Amino acid sequence: MTRRELLGRLLRTPFAGAGGLVLAFLWAGCTSTENRFGGVVTAGRLTDILGQIRRTREPVYVLSARAYVNPFPVSALPAARDVAAYSKVLSGYEAGVVALYQKCVHLGCRVPWCKTSQWFECPCHGSKYNRVGEKKGGPAPRGLDRFAVRIEGGNLSIDTRTIVVGPPIGTDTTRQEADGPHCVSIG
């Protein structure tokens, strides 16, 4: 129901008047998905985000989007353009960024980043994904799901209204191997 429809209904009830209006705005505020999971989430200035990732060697985690932001390398773009599963997120890659849903595509655990291997490694059953969420090992049936992004005025926002299904097993656009020891031994 839109805010306008809600207001119209409330104004036709015994609650009509100031009380009804207060209720309407409170309800609309509670159900708004703006800047939270299920809506479009503002993540911050893209240059700041990429700078932080370079300094820390970790993706930026955006809590309200339940997503990790990582760079998408220019060198991987030609291969990415051939992956049908990437058609809805390619514009973000072309801007140099990927937003990955935190949820493991095996059974749904949150997948943490492993700083030593520079991969995502799931502690539940050992699925492993490279920096851009492509599957590298374990029981996961595909790469990590992801979100489309927008960059406007230098600001990055993550569109969590639609979860874009991750790429099939065998997709390896970056050729990124583990940088060092794994955090999870299984898988």
Applying CB under 6 A, the residues found at the interface with ligand FES are 104, 106-109, 122, 124-127, 138-140
Residues 6+ apart with CB under 8 A from 153: none
> What DSSP element (H or E) covers 113?
strand 113-114
User: How many angstroms separate the CA atoms of 70 and 67, rounded?
Assistant: 10
CB 157 within 8 A of CB 150: yes
CB nearer ligand FES, residue 22 or residue 107 = 107
| Least gap, CB of 142 to ligand FES (angstroms) | 12
CB nearer ligand FES, residue 3 or residue 103 = 103
CB nearer ligand FES, residue 106 or residue 136 = 106
Strand partners, 42: 157
Counted residue by residue, the chain has a size of 187
| Least gap, CB of 123 to ligand FES (angstroms) | 8
| Least gap, CB of 40 to ligand FES (angstroms) | 27
CB nearer ligand FES, residue 103 or residue 150 = 103
